A and B are shown apart, each in its own frame.
Chain A
Amino acid sequence: MQNEKIKIILNYLSNYRQHIPGVFFILVALFIKLVLTKSIEPEALTTFSTNINHTAIQIPNWVFNTRFALDLIAGLCAGLGLYQIIRGFKKGISSIIGAIGGLVVLGFLVWGASGTSISFTGMLAVMVIRSVPITIGALAGILSERAGIVNIAIEGMMIAGAFAGAVIGSILGLWAGILAAILIGALLGLVHAVLSIKYKVDQIISGTMINIFSTGLTSYLFIKFLQDSQNQWLNESGFFKPYAIPLLSKIPVIGPIFFDHNLFIYAMYFLVILLSIALFKTKWGLRHRSVGEHPKAADTLGVNVFRTRYLACVLSGMVAGFGGAYFSLGSVGRFEQTMTAGRGFIALAAMIFGNWNPLGALQAGMLFGFAESLTTKLSLLQFPIPAEVLLMLPYIITMVVLAGVVGRSRGPAADGIPYEKESL
């Protein structure tokens, strides 16, 4: 009896992979309770304003006691930590880590806005907008990696898409711009496919080459032509105007956050749903994934590995090019040098964070989008914590998740390995 109890306790202790996150969560809770709450007056109020426009039904702002809210957040963190130590979240740990990160940020917001008010809805609406290129980029990554081709050229495909979108969009109109962005993405995807499938170039090197090439070429053309004031008409595409979806945008809070945006945001929802179904519920998807997991077996069963991989690369390029068009046609209406600013790489992180899963990618994209929208807010709020420190958070969280302190995210088994058909 006694021995068994000791065994069980030892078992708990030895399972350190499970305990580290739990302890970490509790430390976070202690930090919020002891450090953040200390500087707050007991009667201080925080206001989250909920109305940003007049399309949605107006509801009163949320006003609450700062201390109470912080205690609640700390309690949640501690509860999650305790559960992790005792029982352990098995598969859902990635989302729990994400939730803890979200709680911490929320805690900071509540603390920072103590005595003033933040436009909560506005911030989340910006989050959705900023998540678009990251999520779409991650979807592009999923498409190619599920078929076994590592695509780190998303950044390059995006900048090329942004450029083509802006220039063709200025000449022939917005829709033609989108088409051009998709085509240029497809072209770069094809180059990646030829290099990595036909010539068996290391896929990461091939991707790096495409990145350097597109960044160089777009910057070159921008300086050579678009900077000239005579040629400004080539870089004035304008952008897609937001369109409030009838009924849905009327829902308070939810409406303005999710359903009052432009084409690209709706396209993102559509692509996430489409890919989730196509990859996991269709015959095509099964073949696609089998090529990424075990190309030899797929080949034996009559799946054309090479054709599947070519198609995957081109589709991935098309999606990435479309995502790139967001930068010019979806937000500022013109092309600027290096306007993707590394979003293609963050998209890769979002893909891994989301476990090579479209829905996961959307969640991860939202997280990164939230981090971006936070910066703009924090600089307005005169926040006492330097924005840069909070900005590091998504990257550090990604590394923690990747590092699998918490159970690893696992990519397709044959990812990055060239397939060679055995000759008889």
Chain B
Amino acid sequence: MKNKKNSDDKRNFISIFYEELSNSSLTIIILSIISGFIMGGILVILTSPEVYKAFGTSFLSGISTSWKIVANTYSSLFLGALGDPAKIGAAIQSGDSALIQKAFTPFLESLVVTTPYLFTGVAVALGFRAGLFNIGAEGQVLVGAIAAGWAGWTFTGLSPWIHVPLAMLVGALAGGLWGFVPGFLKVRTGAHEVITTIMMNYVAYYLIYYLISSPLRDPNEVTPKTPWILDSAHLYRFFPEPIRFHLGFFIAIAVAILVWFILFKTTWGFEIRSVGLNPNASKYAGMNITLVTVAAMALSGAIAGMAGASEILGVTWRQSQALASGYGFDSIALALLAQNHPLGVILTALLFGLLRSGSRVMQLRAGTPIYIINILQSFIILFIAAPAIIRTIYRLKKQSVKEVSTSTISFSAKK
């Protein structure tokens, strides 16, 4: 009797737990990431001639070769992103600070790559929250970088305490302008921001190409490059030379937290989210959707501009013509994965930063091209955007509550 009751309780507990798990969007996210990696692994196997050779000899050796290749790929990705755990352990035991720094270098380098992702991810997420699809982060990053760089080498004789914030601000303003234009065009004329931001990307690209090749060019260089920024404009680096980990990372985290606070704890943030969810209802509730849209777009651009600023002030110290960073486009996937939550962006930016930084080592060690990362990203977006696929694959229960999915069908002045 007692036993039966117990097992009843237990089953209830498990089934309740299972139901909760099925309904949780976190489950979907984690399963999406795992599935993305599985699909990537399958692709690596399918494109390895060794596997076909091994399957020619016997089925078992085929399986083991496939496993080896995938394990090698992902383990070198891991090593490149986080560093070698054995080396880290040995370094900590030896107590030599130089060794410890060296062992942690890959991880710190990953954080350096994460920094611009944090900014652009928050920027795109903020846009999505307001119902705006900001594909223009790429261009905003570029103009932010060049503007911050300009401030970095033009203003002389400033203390770092003034110079660094000033340069960041100039970068943010430039990015903000690049976001403001599409936002303004959208509310005034109904021009869809997807097209206008793409156009702004190209304008930014050619503008910067032009600026670097003549007016802002360092005359002492053979190839077109800007001058170096002054020492007083450098973002503080925490460790000696080869390690480039800089203050920008913490600024980015602070921005993410600030945007979270604005979005979820202030009236203005409520208005942004409400306009994003239902512009018509917001309008009838008396909100100024025009203002909210323009402001959200400009703010999104400004944050993306800070990504460029932190890159030039913290990492490169000058701009050359190698321009397309790809950060702007990756950040779309990143924001979707974080379900457009600024704090979630911190986690997904870290994931993308680790992937991007680790992929270089992976290409060297395992011979898997870095572009496997893009394929992983696309599968992750696919699964996140269509949770029904994940539910079918993993036999999760149908969700009783309707899922809030990201939508870019936003208000336009057309109607």
Chain A: residues with CB nearer than 8 A to chain B?
152, 195, 199, 201-202, 204-206, 208-210, 212-213, 215-217, 219-221, 223-225, 342, 345-346, 348-349, 352, 386, 388-389, 391-392, 395-396, 398-399, 402-405, 408, 410, 416-417
Task: Note all chain A residues with C-beta closer than 8 A to B194.
Answer: 152, 204
A342 touches B196 (CB 8 A): no
Task: Note all chain B residues with C-beta closer than 8 A to A345.
Answer: 198
B374 touches A391 (CB 8 A): no
Task: Note all chain A residues with C-beta closer than 8 A to B371.
Answer: 215-217, 219-220, 223
Give the residue name and chain of the A residue nearest to B210 (CB): A388
* Nearest CB of A to B56, in Å: 19
A402 touches B195 (CB 8 A): yes
Asked if B72 CB lies within 8 Å of chain A CBs, one says no
B382 touches A209 (CB 8 A): yes
**Pick the contact of A202 from B203, B372, B407 — CB < 8 Å?**
B407
Evaluate whether A349 and B195 lie within 8 angstroms (CB atoms) in the complex, with A216-B373, A388-B206, A403-B189 already known. Answer: yes
Give Cα A276 to B189, complex, Å. Answer: 28
Evaluate whether A399 and B375 lie within 8 angstroms (CB atoms) in the complex, with A209-B385, A221-B47 already known. Answer: no
A220 touches B369 (CB 8 A): yes
Asked if B202 CB lies within 8 Å of chain A CBs, one says yes
B189 touches A404 (CB 8 A): yes
Give Cα A391 to B199, complex, Å. Answer: 12
Asked if B329 CB lies within 8 Å of chain A CBs, one says yes
Task: Note all chain B residues with C-beta closer than 8 A to A402.
Answer: 185, 189, 191-192, 195-196, 199
* Nearest CB of A to B359, in Å: 11
Give the residue name and chain of the A residue nearest to B379 (CB): A213
* Nearest CB of B to A157, in Å: 14
What are the interface flags for B343-368 relative to A under an 8 Å C-beta threshold, 1 for contact and 0 otherwise? Answer: 00000000000000000000000001
Task: Note all chain B residues with C-beta closer than 8 A to A225.
Answer: 47
A404 touches B375 (CB 8 A): no
List residues 294-309 of chain B with CB under 8 A from any CB of chain A. Answer: none
B210 touches A389 (CB 8 A): yes
Asked if B207 CB lies within 8 Å of chain A CBs, one says yes
Task: Note all chain A residues with C-beta closer than 8 A to B21.
Answer: none
Task: Note all chain A residues with C-beta closer than 8 A to B336.
Answer: 205
B381 touches A223 (CB 8 A): no
Task: Note all chain B residues with C-beta closer than 8 A to A388.
Answer: 206-207, 209-210, 213
Asked if B377 CB lies within 8 Å of chain A CBs, one says yes
A209 touches B409 (CB 8 A): no
A201 touches B386 (CB 8 A): yes
Task: Note all chain B residues with C-beta closer than 8 A to A392.
Answer: 202-203, 206-207
Give Cα A283 to B405, complex, Å. Answer: 37
B408 touches A202 (CB 8 A): yes
B385 touches A202 (CB 8 A): yes
Task: Note all chain B residues with C-beta closer than 8 A to A391.
Answer: 206
Give the residue name and chain of the B residue nearest to A218 (CB): B371
- Which of A201, A205, A217, A386 has the most B CB atoms < 10 Å from its CB? A205
* Nearest CB of B to A161, in Å: 17
Task: Note all chain A residues with C-beta closer than 8 A to B206.
Answer: 388-389, 391-392, 395
Listed by A's residue number, 30 A-B pairs whose Cβ atoms lie within 8 Å are A195-B382, A199-B385, A202-B385, A202-B409, A205-B408, A212-B329, A213-B382, A216-B373, A216-B377, A217-B371, A217-B375, A220-B47, A220-B375, A221-B47, A223-B369, A225-B47, A342-B202, A345-B198, A346-B202, A349-B195, A349-B198, A386-B213, A392-B202, A395-B203, A396-B203, A399-B191, A399-B196, A399-B200, A408-B190, A417-B409
Give the residue name and chain of the A residue nearest to B182 (CB): A399
Task: Note all chain A residues with C-beta closer than 8 A to B378.
Answer: 209-210, 212-213, 216
Give Cα A216 to B189, complex, Å. Answer: 35
The prevalent SS among residues of A at the interface is helix
Give Cα A204 to B268, complex, Å. Answer: 27
Give the residue name and chain of the B residue nearest to A199 (CB): B386
Give Cα A225 to B200, complex, Å. Answer: 35
Task: Note all chain A residues with C-beta closer than 8 A to B374.
Answer: 212-213, 215-217, 219-220
- Which of B192, B200, B336, B388 has the most A CB atoms < 10 Å from its CB? B192
B381 touches A208 (CB 8 A): yes
Task: Note all chain B residues with C-beta closer than 8 A to A398.
Answer: 195, 199
Evaluate whether A206 and B385 lie within 8 angstroms (CB atoms) in the complex, with A219-B369, A220-B375, A395-B202 already known. Answer: yes
Give Cα A410 to B414, complex, Å. Answer: 8
Task: Note all chain A residues with C-beta closer than 8 A to B198.
Answer: 345, 348-349
Evaluate whether A403 and B185 lie within 8 angstroms (CB atoms) in the complex, with A205-B381, A219-B374, A388-B213 already known. Answer: yes
A408 touches B408 (CB 8 A): no
Chain B: residues with CB nearer than 8 A to chain A?
43, 47, 133, 135, 181, 185, 188-192, 194-196, 198-200, 202-203, 206-207, 209-210, 213-214, 329, 332-333, 336, 368-369, 371-375, 377-379, 381-382, 385-386, 388-389, 405-409, 414
Give Cα A398 to B195, complex, Å. Answer: 9
Evaluate whether A195 and B210 lie within 8 angstroms (CB atoms) in the complex, with A202-B405, A219-B369 already known. Answer: no
B388 touches A199 (CB 8 A): yes
B414 touches A399 (CB 8 A): no
Give Cα A224 to B369, complex, Å. Answer: 6
* Nearest CB of A to B272, in Å: 19
**Pick the contact of B408 from A204, A346, A386 — CB < 8 Å?**
A204
* Nearest CB of B to A410, in Å: 7
Give Cα A404 to B413, complex, Å. Answer: 11
* Nearest CB of A to B205, in Å: 9
Task: Note all chain B residues with C-beta closer than 8 A to A405.
Answer: 189
Task: Note all chain A residues with C-beta closer than 8 A to B203.
Answer: 392, 395-396
Per CB-CB distance, the 7 closest pairs between chain A and chain B, nearest first, are A216-B374, A213-B378, A388-B210, A223-B369, A220-B371, A402-B191, A199-B386
Told that A205-B385, A388-B207, A402-B189 touch, could you supply 5 new A-B pairs with CB distance under 8 A?
A205-B408, A209-B385, A220-B47, A389-B206, A389-B210
**Pick the contact of A199 from B210, B389, B409 — CB < 8 Å?**
B389
Task: Note all chain B residues with C-beta closer than 8 A to A204.
Answer: 133, 194, 408
Give Cα A206 to B47, complex, Å. Answer: 25
Give Cα A396 to B181, complex, Å. Answer: 12
- Which of A210, A386, A396 has the most B CB atoms < 10 Å from its CB? A386
Give Cα A212 to B330, complex, Å. Answer: 9
**Pick the contact of A403 from B191, B329, B382, B407 — CB < 8 Å?**
B191
- Which of B199, B336, B369, B409 has the most A CB atoms < 10 Å from its CB? B199
Give Cα A185 to B221, complex, Å. Answer: 45
Give Cα A395 to B207, complex, Å. Answer: 12
* Nearest CB of A to B243, in Å: 29
Give Cα A209 to B333, complex, Å. Answer: 8
* Nearest CB of B to A356, in Å: 13
Task: Note all chain B residues with C-beta closer than 8 A to A201.
Answer: 385-386, 405
**Pick the contact of B332 from A208, A224, A399, A408 — CB < 8 Å?**
A208
- Which of B191, B194, B414 has the most A CB atoms < 10 Å from its CB? B191
Give Cα A210 to B374, complex, Å. Answer: 11
Task: Note all chain A residues with C-beta closer than 8 A to B414.
Answer: 408, 410
* Nearest CB of B to A160, in Å: 12
* Nearest CB of A to B77, in Å: 14
- Which of B333, B372, B386 has the most A CB atoms < 10 Å from its CB? B386
